[in-house]
Chain A
Amino acid sequence: MIGNSVSRLFYQLICIGTALLGMTGCERSEPPVFRFNSVEWVKQEKTHLAEGEHFPEDYKAEIGTIMTALFGTPDDPTFPFFLGDEDPAHDVISIESLRMAAGPTRVDKRESATGLYREHCAHCHGITGNGAGDTAASLEPYPRDFRLGKFKFKSTPLRSPPTDHDLTEILVNGIPGSAMPSFRTLPEDQIQSLVEYVKYLTMRGQFERFLLGELAALDGEPLIDLSLVDKPDGGEPSEDDVEEFEDQMYAVIGEGLQERIIARWLKPERKVTKIEAAPPEFDIQHQAHRQFVQKGRELYFAKGNCMQCHGDTGIGDGQLNNFDDWTNDWIKSADVDTADPTSYADFSAVGALPPRPVKPRNLTHRYYRGGDHPDDLYLRLRNGIEGTPMPASTAMTSDEIWAVVAYVRAMPYLDSTRDESEKPVNEKQVMR
């Protein structure tokens, strides 16, 4: 009897040990690497080349070399400060912050933390910030792919990058209704390092997309021909070669990275949308508050056209066939039929996650992904939500926006916006 139990325990231990070996067997000993943006590569091929044609594979290595020279690797990140110590990009990114967030996770994190991104973020957002970490496919919504350079919840207008404060708020508060948790317990310097690392991955991803967008026009020529100045025979380059090389550097790195990407990230605080003060009737205690909510309701259905997506009752059932920009970015390039997986098999083969329609918010649930403070709702209405079908309400006055905010905040409690099945059966008795 005892022998039987021992052998059973023995076999169970072997089972557990083998299972653990199986789980760790696929891990490679080499350090993690940034992933090539193959989805963008396939998109560019489908956009610019004939069916069956492909870009030369050499471009992948060339892009990798340029990216590594400028941004380093996940274990040893760097950033191109073109103007040395005077470069204004020092206000955007600091190497110390990058080193704190990058690299392998260190156990003595209280003393000298490193690897914060890999510890807290990479399993969803991926080492590369491509939104394709190991858990991504099972999450709804998918984790953010930073490489597109778009952020939903921010205080700046569409097409402007978020401020550090915006990103900090997301890290500290999380995003209700998504898998993004709150990191409120992390010290301030660690939050700041993660904010800067997210900006680093974003700019890096934006630049990689820029390089891939240039390939079609190159006609097989290199992006930057290093052999012009680094002669294989060790000889001195001619003046023409140096000039040609410098032209390529200015076109690719100067215009592509410095002017188009990094310059946009300088001082986004300048673009922060001013939140106009709410009128007195916004206060729930004000005697005209009920009329103010009614005004918001009228705007919801007429000028604001909110019901088109959020539905008559605000449960988010108005428009269910829209996709966000992260998905539209590639499905529109190849006439993808989102209902037919074979039509996007080429993208799936290189890691694109299956397209899922973006769901308008159910406004009767009392939680809002970008924050539930009235100011947050005001900004969502005034600026829209970047990367989604939610537009900026440029035609509405600030008082009108506040009226819609008042109506949206009242929605969970209004009979007209509640489904019969959601009401408690004894509501009438309770109300009495």
Chain B
Amino acid sequence: MVIRNSWFVIVLIVVMSSFVGCYQRTVAPALTFDQKKAETLDSEIKKMEWD
């Protein structure tokens, strides 16, 4: 009985925590970027004359 209840709790916690933990990562994609291009653009921005 203890084992059966414990497994229920495990499954419940794993499912709920997976939902909470993964929600942001699945529905809101990370900002992807090209590091080399970002560095090139950064150096071009610094070269420009802003006023």
Contact = CB atoms under 8 A, between A and B. Distances in A.
B10 A67 contact: no
Given A11-B2, A34-B31, A134 B24 contact: yes
B32 A60 contact: yes
B2 to A, nearest CB: 6
Interface string A63-87: 1111111100000000010110000
Contacts of A65: 33-34, 37-38, 41
A428 interface: no
Contacts of A213: none
A35 B10 contact: no
In which size bucket is the chain A interface?
35 or more
Given A38-B29, A61-B33, A253 B45 contact: yes
Given A64-B32, A66-B38, A67-B33, 4 more contacts: A26-B21, A33-B30, A60-B31, A350-B28
Interface of B: 2-3, 6-7, 9-10, 13-14, 17-18, 20-25, 27-35, 37-42, 44-45, 48, 50-51
A64 B10 contact: no
B48 A249 contact: yes
A11 B3 contact: yes
Interface string A321-355: 00000000000000000000000000001110000
Interface of A: 8, 11-12, 14-15, 18-19, 22-23, 25-28, 33-36, 38, 60-61, 63-70, 80, 82-83, 126, 130, 132-134, 224, 226, 229-230, 245-246, 249, 253-254, 258, 349-351
Given A8-B2, A61-B33, A226-B44, A22 B27 contact: no
B31 A33 contact: yes
Given A126-B24, A230-B40, A25 B31 contact: no
28 contacts: A8-B2, A11-B3, A12-B6, A23-B14, A23-B17, A25-B21, A26-B17, A26-B18, A26-B21, A35-B30, A64-B32, A64-B33, A65-B37, A65-B38, A66-B41, A69-B38, A69-B41, A69-B42, A69-B45, A70-B42, A70-B45, A126-B24, A130-B28, A134-B20, A134-B21, A134-B23, A253-B45, A351-B24
Nearest to A67: B31
A336 B14 CA distance: 34
Nearest to B44: A229
B17 to A, nearest CB: 4
Given A38-B29, A350-B28, A19 B3 contact: no
Contact of A36 (B30, B45, B51): B30
Nearest to B30: A33
Nearest to A36: B31
Contact of B31 (A23, A26, A64): A64
Contacts of B39: 69
Question: 8 shortest A-B CB distances, which residue pairs?
Answer: A26-B21, A22-B14, A64-B33, A82-B50, A69-B41, A351-B28, A15-B6, A23-B17
Contacts, number: 125
A25 B14 CA distance: 9
B48 A246 contact: yes
A19 B48 contact: no
B44 A18 contact: no
A38 B31 CA distance: 10
Contacts of B2: 8, 11-12
Contacts of B22: 26
A230 B37 CA distance: 9
A134 B51 CA distance: 41
A18 B14 contact: yes
A8 B17 CA distance: 25
A23 B12 CA distance: 11
A128 to B, nearest CB: 8
B46 to A, nearest CB: 9
A34 B30 contact: yes
Contact of A351 (B7, B18, B27): B27
A19 B9 contact: yes
Contact of B24 (A8, A14, A35, A253): A35
Contacts of A60: 29, 31-32
